[in-house]
Amino acid sequence: MEFTAEEIQKNWNQFNSNIEKYISGERKQKLLDFYKKYEDRVVLMPAAHKKEYHNAFPGGYVDHINRVVSAALKMYDVWAEFGADMDTFTTEELIF
């Protein structure tokens, strides 16, 4: 799989949006500072180093993280719908 430059930028924007939306306080600022400092590396980083592995292509790491966040939020909603005790962790902890 290959992403266009536009898709990589869109994924990067979503990645940062998730931090802005779900993370707060000092943790949020540290994450934003870290990812800003290493943006040139992280935005193009693959999720794996072997081509046979999941998301082992430029932009694969950010894409993978975005999909994990999306899946976690959907599972959270399903568990809550079925009456699970959702007071044992915060959404921020789930996303982090």
**pLDDT over 90 (residue 30):** yes
At residue 68, the pLDDT reads 97
Rounded Cα gap, residues 65 and 63, in angstroms: 6
* DSSP assigned state of 47: S
Q: Which of 79, 60, 62 is nearest to 91 (CA)?
A: 79
**pLDDT over 90 (residue 35):** yes
Report the percent of the chain where pLDDT is more than 70.
Answer: 100
pLDDT grade for 51, boundaries at 50, 70 and 90: confident
- Number of domains composing the chain: 1
Domain holding 62, by residue range, is: 5-95
Of the two residues 16 and 51, the one the predictor is more confident about is: 16
